[in-house]
Amino acid sequence: MSSGSKIAIIIAVAVVAVVVIVGGLMVAGAGLFWFRAATHEEMAQRQAQMALERDLTLAKKAEAEAMTAADTQQRSAADARPLAERRKQAIARGVAYLVKAQEPAGSWGEGNVGITALCTDALLWCGKTAKDEPVSRAVQYLLKHQKEDGGIYDVGLRTYTTSIALMVLVKADAKAYAETIEKAKGYLIEHQWDEAESIDKGNPWYGGHGYGKHERPDLSNTQYFVEAMHEAGVPKDHPLWKKVVVFVSRTQDRSESNDQVFAGTDSGGMIYSPHAGGESKAGTVDLPNGKKGLKAYGSMTYAGFKSFMYARLERDDPRVQAAMDWIRRHWTFEENPDLGQQGLYYYYETAAKALKAWGEDQIVDARRRTHPWRAELSEAVLKRQKPDGFWTNEADRWFEGFPPVPTSYALIALAQCE
């Protein structure tokens, strides 16, 4: 083969190679173009999807914010309503709940006389009268349970039950139920611990009231007895009042006036009972000497303070001032001081009545802060009302887990704030 032929073949092969390479590059370029086009399309689709999702998210967020704003505005509008109006509506809802919860016999609490008396008392405090069917039925139920000794009770808790029932009858129609009232009043006075029970003034039980006949006295029973005597209009010169002061003074953590001194810190507050060296539902407190003392707490301090007021001690009496100082140091309606949430609604009722008896619209606490107690107490009670109109206490002690009981306490407390 000539050199010319070889050169021709080489050139032909080179041309074919060039063609193949160029073709490959063209195919590769086309593929790359397609890949890029496809990728661009996917990216465009992805971006569109992301934009849609973002728009939906923003729309949902805007909707949620609008709903939140509307809800906030609605709540703000509700809060902006005058407190008196909100309190009135809360009372109406609470009353409606109690009326709905009343049993066919006219009772509450499966026929419990004490709970029935408490619920009826709440209705009367909130504007119902003996002419209203729920009250009329309840009063008739209570009247059926008056015993020959004058007490109004079923089983146990005789002082509580008779005292509250007596207050109900006085509010309902003192004239119409005069005979029943006198018998109930006589029962309570007879069972106050004094010389008739063969004890003298030196006994720590003297002047107090317990759960019933021959039962050891405590400040809770005693404060209901005292309030019943106050509501019934017992004259201020009746001997029972001085006896009450003796007993209540012995529940006070104040060594200067407590001649049956229990171990305490001279706080001025009150404990549950001076019996057997003293008893406090709040437990003990560490004393400087390393020993344990009894701790005063909110509901009993207000109970003792209120009893001093009803017994007509002077406002500047050191015992009254010591109790008020304790109240100033422990000012709150978020809990029952030194007892937490236990007995919270009992605390509300007792505090409201005590502060009303004190007669001042504002209380200055130990830090010199001024408190319009009616407004603060109302707000504390209102925010705890359930949608169905009742109140209840998750710290279920002393019947406060049973809605008619805390609802009655709450309504009575609100009535004192009117």
Mean pLDDT of all residues belonging to the chain: 85
Looking at the predicted structure, is the pLDDT value of residue 100 above 90?
yes
What is the mean pLDDT of the segment spanning 237-241?
A: 97
What is the mean pLDDT of the segment spanning 303-312?
A: 98
Question: Angle CA(228)–CA(402)–CA(191) in degrees, nearest 5?
Answer: 25
In which element (H, E) is residue 293 found? strand 292-294
Pair 181, 232: CB distance under 8 Å = yes
327-335 contacts, C-beta under 8 A, 24 or more apart: 327/301, 327/302, 327/363, 328/363, 328/364, 328/365, 328/366, 329/365, 329/366, 330/269, 330/298, 330/301, 331/363, 331/365, 331/366, 331/371, 333/376, 333/377, 333/379, 333/380, 333/381, 334/380, 335/298
Predicted local distance difference test score (pLDDT) of residue 80: 61
> What's the distance, CA 380 to chain centroid?
7
Predicted local distance difference test score (pLDDT) of residue 149: 96
Predicted local distance difference test score (pLDDT) of residue 262: 73
Looking at the predicted structure, is the pLDDT value of residue 343 above 80?
yes
In this structure, what DSSP letter does residue 106 have?
S
The 10s digit of each residue's pLDDT in 344-383 is 999 999 999 999 999 999 999 999 999 999 999 999 999 9
Looking at the predicted structure, is the pLDDT value of residue 410 above 60?
yes
Predicted local distance difference test score (pLDDT) of residue 291: 84
The 10s digit of each residue's pLDDT in 113-148 is 999 999 999 999 999 999 999 999 999 999 999 999
Looking at the predicted structure, is the pLDDT value of residue 290 above 90?
no
What is the spatial distance between Cα 87 and Cα 411, in angstroms, rounded to a whole number? 10
pTM: 0.81
